[in-house]
Amino acid sequence: QDPTAYPYQFQDDPYLSPRTSVEFKLFSLSQESGRAAAKYFVNSNPKLFTKDFAEPHIPCLMPESVALRLEEVSQEALEERISLRKVSAAVEMYDQLLQSGTAVSMETTHKLLDLICLYCDRDPVQEGTPQTEDREEEEDRRRKPMGRRAMDFLKCTWKENNNAERIFNLLPERDARCYSALIRGMVKVTFSAFTADVHVFNALISAVPDVRKKNNERWDLIAELLNQMNEQKVRPNLLTFNSVLKALRQCSFLAKTFSPQILNEMKALGIAPSLATYEHILTVFFYKSASSGPSNMAILQDVLMELEGTSFTCQDPNDVLFFATAMKLCLDNKDLELGYKVHSLVEVGENWRLLGDSYQQALYYGRFFNLLCLMEHIDVVLKWYSRIVPSLLYPNPQGMKNLLQALDTDSRLDLLPTIWKDIKSLGHDNKVDLVEELLCLMARDEHSAEVCFRPSLIHVFSCPIQKKLVGLTENKDMLQLFKDKNRVPSGALLSSFLTACRCSASPQRAVELVQLSAAFSLPTTPELAKRTLAEFELNDNGKSILLKSFSSSGELEKYMRHYAKVLNRQTGEQNANENTPTVDCEALSQGCQTPVTSRRRLPAFRCTTGTKHWNEMA
C-alpha cells in the first residue's frame, strides 16, 4: 500500500481527494449521496433504462422492480408487497384479506410479522429519498447529546398500538415463530407458554440493562434467563455469552466477579471467544478503574499473548471495537511494547478489516500515533508518520501538538518548517493553541537562516497571535499586528528583527520597528534608534521619526551629547571651547513636533560642523 496515496474509495475521482479529516467526511458523504441519488433516479424511471449492455449481466446495475403488479386482494398480492418491503401496503392487504374472510397461511403471517418488526412498523426509506421524522422524535434527537448509540435504534422507533401487536393479538393460534418475531423486534412479550430459540434469549439478555435499574436485579434476571435456556435445552452460542458480558458492563462491581465465570462456561462448552468477548472483558476491568496499573495491564498482556498470530473473521458486530479499546489502554498506561503488539495483531492476515468504519479507524491510528509521540524516538515517530499519513490517518490538532513536543524532546526543531507545511495542508493552521505551540518552539532558541527564511513559515505571521519569529520581513502587516492584537514584543525580538532588516536592506522597516518600540514605551527604544542611525542610510523623514522616538523616551539630550562626541572624533578636535555654537530647543522642536514651553540652552560641545548637523537632525 502506498502510504502517500489517498484511500482507495477516492481514487476513481481525483476531485474527491481529501486533504483533511473534514474533507474526508464531506467527500465520503458526497460520494454515497451521488450513488443513492443515481439509484433512486434509475429505480423511479425504469422505463428509461431497459437496455442491458453489460456482459455478463450485472443485476445491481439494472433498475429494481419496485412497482406493484398485483392489485387484486389475494395472498399472492400480500407476498408481493412483503417481498418489495412495502410495510404499509402489506398491512393494508392483510386487513383486506381478513375482512373478506380469506385465510392467510401461517408462513405468510410469519413473513409479515418479521417485516413489520424489522422496520418498526414503517416503510423503509428508499435510497436517495429524504428521510422524514415526526416532530416529537426530532425534538428528542435534538435534546440528546451527540454520539452514536446502538440502543437509540431500539428506543425511539416503536409507537403504542402498533400493527405488530395488533396482528399478533388477532392471530387465532400463536406459535414460537410469532413470539420470536415480537420479542426480537420489540423485546416486550413474555414467553412462558412456549419454547424460545437462542436468538430470542439473546435479544432478552441484551435488553436487561434497560428493564432493570439496580445491578443486583440485572444479574438476577440474567441468571434467570440462562436457567430457562438450560431448562428448555437451548444451547447458547457466542452471541449469548457476548450479550451477557455486555450487560455485565453495566453492573458495576458485579462485572468483575462474574465475568471470569462466563469465560469458564464458554470454554466448558467449547465456544471460542471473539474479539468482542475480549473487548467486553477489557472494558469490565479497566473502565473507571482507579488502579489501572501493572496488575490490570497484565490482563491485556495475557489477552494479546493468547491472540498472537491469529487471523479473525467478524462474528459479532462489536468485534470492530476491540483494537481501538486495546490501543486506548496502551495509550492511557503509556505502554509502548503492548501498543506494538496490538498493531502487529492488526497486520496479521486481514485483521485490519476489523478496525471498523472510518471513525473507528481514526480513533485507533490516532491513539497509536499519540503513543508513539509520547514514548518513541523521534526518528521512529517520523517513520510511522510518513507511513500512515495521509493514507490511514488525518491527525487532529492534538496529534500534531504531540508531534511538536516529540520534536522538542529530541531537539529536532529543524523539521518545524516541514511540520508546519503539513499543519497547513491538514487545515489546522487556524487552531490558536497549535500555532502558539509551534511559535514558542521557534522563538525559544536561535535558528539558522535556512530555517528562519523557509517559505513554508511565511504564513505563520498571518495568524492572529503574538509573532515571535525572526527573519520574516516580507510580511508587511507583521508590525501592525502587534498593536492590533495588543501584544507587546520583547526587546530581544525587536533587536533580532532589526538585524534581519539590516540583512535585507530595509531602512523603512527599521524605522517602523523603532516607532513600534516607542509606542509601547519599551526601554530598548533608544538603543534601537541608535542602531538604526548608525547602520542605515536614512532620509530626512526617517531621521525626524527617530527624533520623535527620542523625545517620547526622554533621552534626547543624552543622545545629542553622544552624537556630538562622535562628530568631534571625526573632525579630530579633542578640546572643547566655551564659545562653541549652541543649539536651541525651538529649532529641534520643529523636527520633533513637540510643544516647547521654554527656551533653554543645552550644554555645548566643540564641533566645527555642529550647527549644520543639528539643523539636519532637526
pLDDT of 380 > 90? The answer is yes
Top pLDDT among 175 and 93 is at 93
Q: Which of 13-17, 120-124, 199-203, 230-234 has the lowest mean pLDDT?
A: 13-17
Distance separating alpha carbons of residues 85 and 288, to the nearest angstrom? 44
Provide the grid cell at 467.
509573532
**Which pLDDT value is given to residue 236?**
94
**What are the residue ranges of helices labelled H in 171-207?**
176-186, 198-206
Dihedral pair phi/psi, residue 391, rounded to 5°: -65, -35
**Which pLDDT value is given to residue 461?**
42
Domain extents for the chain? 1-56, 273-392, 395-452, 466-565
Q: What is the mean pLDDT of the segment spanning 342-356?
A: 94
Closest CA to 426 of 7, 96, 24, 54: 24
**Which pLDDT value is given to residue 562?**
56
Place 613 in a pLDDT band, splitting at 50, 70 and 90. Answer: very low
Distance separating alpha carbons of residues 288 and 284, to the nearest angstrom? 9
In three-state secondary structure terms, 132 is coil
Count of residues making up the chain: 618
Top pLDDT among 165 and 371 is at 371
* Residue 499 amino acid letter: T
Place 242 in a pLDDT band, splitting at 50, 70 and 90. Answer: very high
**Which pLDDT value is given to residue 606?**
37
pLDDT of 238 > 90? The answer is yes
pLDDT of 600 > 50? The answer is no
Q: What is the mean pLDDT of the segment spanning 532-539?
A: 83
Q: Is the backbone peptide bond immediately before 56 cis, with ω within 30 degrees of 0? A: yes
Top pLDDT among 525 and 136 is at 525
pLDDT in tens, 10-59: 777 777 778 777 888 888 888 888 888 888 888 888 888 888 887 888 87
Q: Which of 65-69, 141-145, 172-176, 459-463 has the lowest mean pLDDT?
A: 459-463
Q: Which of 77-81, 337-341, 415-419, 493-497 has the lowest mean pLDDT?
A: 493-497
Q: What is the mean pLDDT of the segment spanning 257-261?
A: 90
Distance separating alpha carbons of residues 86 and 186, to the nearest angstrom? 20
**Which pLDDT value is given to residue 597?**
38
**Which pLDDT value is given to residue 529?**
84
Please answer whether residues 121 and 163 qualify as being in contact, where contact means their C-beta atoms are separated by less than 8 angstroms. Answer: yes
**Most confident residue range from 34-48, 80-94, 571-585, 604-618:** 80-94
Place 139 in a pLDDT band, splitting at 50, 70 and 90. Answer: low
pLDDT exceeding 70 applies to what percent of the chain?
73
Q: What is the mean pLDDT of the segment spanning 490-499?
A: 80
**Which pLDDT value is given to residue 338?**
95
Place 577 in a pLDDT band, splitting at 50, 70 and 90. Answer: very low
Cβ atoms within 10 A of the Cβ of 477, count?
Answer: 9
Dihedral pair phi/psi, residue 66, rounded to 5°: -115, -5
Q: What is the mean pLDDT of the segment spanning 441-457?
A: 59
Distance separating alpha carbons of residues 266 and 174, to the nearest angstrom? 33
Closest CA to 215 of 273, 284, 149: 284
* Residue 521 amino acid letter: S
Distance separating alpha carbons of residues 259 and 241, to the nearest angstrom? 10
pLDDT in tens, 48-107: 888 888 788 887 777 776 677 788 889 899 998 888 888 889 999 999 998 988 888 989
Please answer whether residues 187 and 203 qualify as being in contact, where contact means their C-beta atoms are separated by less than 8 angstroms. Answer: yes
Q: What is the mean pLDDT of the segment spanning 123-149?
A: 53
**Which pLDDT value is given to residue 616?**
45
pLDDT in tens, 199-225: 888 988 998 998 888 989 999 999 999
CA distances (Å), 283 to each of 148, 250, 315, 329, 367, in order?
18, 10, 19, 9, 17
pLDDT in tens, 408-440: 999 898 898 889 989 988 888 888 889 888 888
Contacts of 327 (CB under 8 A, 6+ apart): 339, 342, 343, 364, 367, 368, 371
Distance separating alpha carbons of residues 245 and 236, to the nearest angstrom? 13
Q: What is the mean pLDDT of the segment spanning 590-596?
A: 40
Please answer whether residues 159 and 167 qualify as being in contact, where contact means their C-beta atoms are separated by less than 8 angstroms. Answer: no
DSSP annotation string for 26-51:
HHHHHHHHHHHHHHHHHHH-GGG---
Place 196 in a pLDDT band, splitting at 50, 70 and 90. Answer: confident
**Which pLDDT value is given to residue 277?**
95
In three-state secondary structure terms, 502 is helix
pLDDT of 589 > 60? The answer is no
Rounded to the nearest integer, the mean pLDDT of the chain is 77
Q: What count of Cα atoms within 13 Å lies in the side-chain half-sphere of residue 332? A: 18
Q: What is the mean pLDDT of the segment spanning 532-542?
A: 82
Record the pTM. Answer: 0.66
First-to-last C-alpha distance (Å) of the chain: 72
Q: Which of 125-129, 252-256, 539-543 has the lowest mean pLDDT?
A: 125-129
**Most confident residue range from 296-300, 375-379, 542-546:** 375-379
**Which pLDDT value is given to residue 582?**
43
pLDDT of 351 > 60? The answer is yes
Top pLDDT among 559 and 351 is at 351
Q: Which of 73-77, 112-116, 487-491 has the lowest mean pLDDT?
A: 487-491
**Which pLDDT value is given to residue 593?**
38
Q: What is the mean pLDDT of the segment spanning 284-300?
A: 68
Q: Torsion angle of alpha carbons 143, 147, 151, 154, nearest 10°?
A: 60
Q: Which of 44-58, 157-171, 552-566 has the lowest mean pLDDT?
A: 552-566
Q: What is the mean pLDDT of the segment spanning 475-495?
A: 69
In three-state secondary structure terms, 58 is coil
Distance separating alpha carbons of residues 78 and 315, to the nearest angstrom? 34
Q: Torsion angle of alpha carbons 29, 34, 35, 41, nearest 10°?
A: 140
Please, what is the Cα angle at 268 between 264 and 271, to 5 degrees? 90
